[in-house]
Structure 1
Amino acid sequence: MNIFHKTQKKETRRLPMTGKVKKGFRYYCMAVLSLTAIFAMSTTAFAAGDPLTVVNNLSDFIFGFIRAIGLILLGFGIVQVGLSLKSHDPSQRANGFLTLAGGIIIVFAKEILTLITG
């Protein structure tokens, strides 16, 4: 019993399109692409009045991102330490504690930098 007929050859043919239809389709595509490019490139950027506020906002965003990465490492370190306690693997336990310590340092990076700089 042959479910898939591998011997059948399918022919593909292009749809008939006259010269005027091709030309119109080209104009339509160019109009859509042009309007998309115009609307995509004409976004208005509103600047804040104080440049120091912009820098502080950017700094808060970057440190928030770094804190999220630190929390992920912290969670991974906890899981790694837990698995090493279950399997009695000292090298995995050491790596888990190092990952845990690194995650804590990364989470509190902003506070550590403010303590250092004053």
Structure 2
Amino acid sequence: MTNFNKNNEKKTTQKLPMTGKVKTGFRTYCAAVVAVTALCSLGITAFAANEPIAVVNNLSDFIFGLIRAIGMILLGFGIVQVGLSLKSHDPSQRANGFLTLAGGIIITFAKEILNLIAG
């Protein structure tokens, strides 16, 4: 095994010299950034809804929106799998593609399916 380090000398690292004024200025800058960040993040007003049901409905809409996005991704991936299986004449990949496609459709329309079931 060859050694790629042609100079067998050990290299050492040293800190860059920093004067007292630079250290003080850097500390002041860091303190100002932390203070402005804390001021902006702690000063946000949280508006609460008048009805707790509205909050639950908004959360439900948000979660079902995320589920719909995941379903659309699976739907697209299933279409790609079916297309690739038709090109390569692979029946097992074709079956997996159709299962992924069906799962993507079910996940995409999960909210509507649950509304039909629940009434």
Q: Tell me which interval the TM-score lies in, with the shorter structure as reference length.
A: 0.7 to 0.9
d(CA) in 2 for partners of 1:50 and 1:58? 13
Note the aligned Cα RMSD (angstroms). 2.4
Q: How far is 1:23 from its partner?
A: 3.7
Determine the C-alpha separation between the residues in 2 that align with 1:103 and 1:116: 19
What is the CA–CA distance in structure 2 between the aligned matches of 1:107 and 1:12, rounded to whole Å? Answer: 58
Distance in 2, Cα, partners of 1:22 & 1:107? 56
2:48 corresponds to 1:47: yes
Cα 1:75–1:23 change in 2 (3 A) is: closer
Deviations 1:45-77 (A, max 9, x none): 111111111111111111111111111111111
- Provide the residue aligned with 2:110 in structure 1: 109
Q: In 2, distance between residues paired with 1:88 and 1:103?
A: 23
Residue in 2 that maps onto 1:3: none
2:3 corresponds to which residue? none
2:58 matched residue in structure 1: 57
Shift, 1:78, TM fit? 1.1
* DSSP 3-state at the match of 1:49: coil
Counterpart CA distance in 1 for 2:117 and 2:104 is 19
Q: Could you state the TM-score of these two structures normalised by the residue count of structure 2? A: 0.77
Q: Aligned pair count?
A: 110
Unaligned runs of 5+ in 1: 1-5
Give the alignment's TM-score, normalised by structure 1.
0.77
Letter in 2 for 1:76: F
Measured in 1, the distance between the counterparts of 2:32 and 2:104 equals 52
Q: Note the C-alpha offset of 1:41.
A: 2.1
Name stretches of at least 5 consecutive residues in structure 2 with no aligned partner.
1-5
When residues 61 and 13 of structure 1 are mapped into structure 2, their CA distance, relative to the original with a 3 A threshold, is closer
